[in-house]
Amino acid sequence: SLRCGNTRFSVLMATINLVPNGSISNDWTLSAFGAAHSMLASDHTGNTGSAHNHLYDNTAGTKCVIEFEDFSESFSSIDSVQAVTRSHVPGRGNSFQIGVTILDGSSGTFYSQETISQGANAPSSGYRTQTFTSRTTSDGSSAWTNTNINNLRMEIELTAVGGGNNKQFCHCYFIVTYTEPVATDNSVFFGTNF
Alpha-carbon span 118 to 129, nearest angstrom = 10
SS3 per residue for 94-152: EEEEEEEEEEECCCEEEEEEEEEEEEEECCCCCCEEEECCCECCCCCCCCCCHHHHHCE
Q: Which residues pair with 193 in a beta bridge?
A: 188
Distance separating alpha carbons of residues 27 and 61, to the nearest angstrom = 9
Contact 180, 12 (CB under 8 A): yes
d(CA 130, CA 85): 5
Determine which helix (DSSP H) or strand (DSSP E) holds 14, and give its type and residue range. Answer: strand 7-18
Q: How far apart are CA 60 and CA 98, in angstroms?
A: 10
Q: pTM score, two decimals?
A: 0.85
Proportion of the chain above pLDDT 90, given as a percent: 62
- The residue type found at 177 is T
**What is the SS3 assignment for 39?**
helix
pLDDT at residue 180 in the model: 85
* pLDDT mean over 107-136: 85
- pLDDT tens-digit map of 143-176: 999 999 999 999 999 999 999 999 999 999 999 9
pLDDT digits (tens, 9 = 90+) for 13-49: 899 999 999 999 999 999 988 999 999 998 876 666 6
Look at residue 3 and tell me whether its pLDDT is greater than 70.
no
In the three-class reduction of DSSP (H, G, I as helix; E, B as strand; rest coil), residue 59 is classed as coil
Q: How far is CA 46 from the centre of its chain?
A: 19
How much is the average pLDDT of 50-61?
Answer: 87
Number of neighbouring beta carbons within 10 Å of residue 37? 20
Q: What is the largest distance, in Å, between two alpha-carbon atoms of the chain?
A: 79
